[in-house]
Amino acid sequence: MSVLVVGSIALDSVETPVTSGEDLLGGSAMYFSMAAGFFTDVRLVGVVGTDFPDSAVDLLRERNVDVTGLQRAAGQTFRWSGRYHSDMNQRDTLDTRLNVFENFSPEIPEAYRSSEVVFLANIHPSLQMEVLRQVEHPELVVTDTMNLWIESTPEELEAVIRQTDLFVLNDTEARQLTGEANLMVAARQLRAMGPAYLVIKKGEHGALLMSDDGLFFAPGFPLEQVTDPTGAGDVFAGGLVGVLDQAEELNDTLLRQAVVYGSTVASYNVESLSLNRLKHLTKQEIENRYEQFKAFTRFTLN
């Protein structure tokens, strides 16, 4: 199958305690696609400016990403600039320039409209809804969001959540959206809003999966060096949704494994600046670390 992703494509300037760089490949749809492409075919819808390098488009093509839906508009690509604290769970946004993204309206190419799996990356809920209107019969709608939309457009966001099968968000967002401090209570309330499946990302502390089949938890992979956390959540989602998309049938075991694959790819991504690690990552390296995840969490003999 093919997963349709709609989201931002950016050129980032990032400063972490370990390194820094400018005009780095970024954006939710970019990170997602580079991860999902390890597992399945990806159909990308987004917009870039005239300054966006052709080499990056080639990179996407090489990673099984169909770029028919990639619009190139007159002007500059969306730019984000941020600085991480010594505790890299904290960061400050220094500058955001929407540029060509300001007037972005997602146009789903004819060939994409039959997509069965859709990933609505973190963009304005009204744009997410526009995407859903253009997709014929999605079997699995996966939605991400951020604090900005929770605060500024809660009703539009809730309308999207009602049409969502798998809602992916982080722990802070889950608490913010429900007003509940306890994550398990928040999770129950989020599922009551519509999604049959819920994944709450806890950064370095792992990810929690919740469905009618029960609870599953995957820890963050232990790393001696984190270089750049940017995009980790989108890469996680890319691994997760990529694995789901290429499977015959959605079931609890597949979902659990998909969460672990998501954690695995995300753990590689934070090892280098921007997409530098993911560019050269191999499927074999992913499988190796997936096996290490088993050893890391197993406590039964059988």
Asked if 298 touches a second copy (CB under 8 A), the answer is: yes
The dihedrals phi and psi of 210, each to the nearest 5 degrees, come to -135, 130
Q: Among 87, 110, 248, 249, which residue interacts with a second copy (rule: CB under 8 A)?
A: 87
Of 128 and 257, nearer to a second copy (C-beta) is 257
Asked if 183 touches a second copy (CB under 8 A), the answer is: yes
Instruction: Work out how close the CB of 92 gets to a second copy at its nearest, in angstroms, rounded to a whole number.
Output: 18
Task: Please report the DSSP string for 67-107 in residue order.
Answer: EEEEEE-SSPPEEEEEEE-SSTT-EEEEEEE-GGGGG----
Beta-sheet strand order (sheet of 166-170): 65-72, 41-48, 2-6, 117-120, 140-143, 166-170, 197-201, 207-211, 214-218
Give the length of the chain.
302
Closest C-alpha to 68, from 22, 149, 6, 130: 6
Q: By CB under 8 A, how many residues form the interface with a second copy?
A: 37
The token duo for 70 is: 């990639």
Instruction: Work out how close the CB of 270 gets to a second copy at its nearest, in angstroms, rounded to a whole number.
Output: 12
Q: Among 181, 192, 248, 283, which residue interacts with a second copy (rule: CB under 8 A)?
A: 181
Using the CB atoms, write b or e for 266-299: b if 16+ within 10 Å: bbbbbbbbbbbbbeebeeeebeebbeebeeeeee
Asked if 205 touches a second copy (CB under 8 A), the answer is: yes
Instruction: Work out how close the CB of 63 gets to a second copy at its nearest, in angstroms, rounded to a whole number.
Output: 25
Asked if 111 touches a second copy (CB under 8 A), the answer is: no
Is the CA virtual torsion 164, 246, 269, 51 positive or negative? negative
Residues 255-294 that bind a second copy (CB under 8 A): 256-257, 259-260, 294
Of 105 and 225, nearer to a second copy (C-beta) is 225
Asked if 185 touches a second copy (CB under 8 A), the answer is: yes
The token duo for 71 is: 């619009």
Instruction: Work out how close the CB of 66 gets to a second copy at its nearest, in angstroms, rounded to a whole number.
Output: 30
Asked if 299 touches a second copy (CB under 8 A), the answer is: yes
Of 81 and 189, nearer to a second copy (C-beta) is 189
Of 75 and 206, nearer to a second copy (C-beta) is 206
Residues with Cβ within 8 Å of 189's Cβ and at least 6 positions away in sequence, in order, are 178, 180
Residues 7-26 that bind a second copy (CB under 8 A): none
Contact yes or no for 124/101 (Cβ under 8 A): no
Instruction: Work out how close the CB of 251 gets to a second copy at its nearest, in angstroms, rounded to a whole number.
Output: 11
Asked if 148 touches a second copy (CB under 8 A), the answer is: no
The C-alpha atoms of residue 57 and residue 49 are separated, in whole angstroms, by 12
Contact yes or no for 35/265 (Cβ under 8 A): yes
Of 192 and 301, nearer to a second copy (C-beta) is 301
Of 213 and 285, nearer to a second copy (C-beta) is 213
Contact yes or no for 13/275 (Cβ under 8 A): no
Q: What x/- string results for residues 210 through 249 when contact with a second copy is judged by CB under 8 A?
A: ----xxxxxx--xxxxx-----------------------
List contacts with a second copy (CB under 8 A): 86-87, 181-185, 188, 202, 205-206, 208, 214-219, 222-226, 253, 256-257, 259-260, 294-302
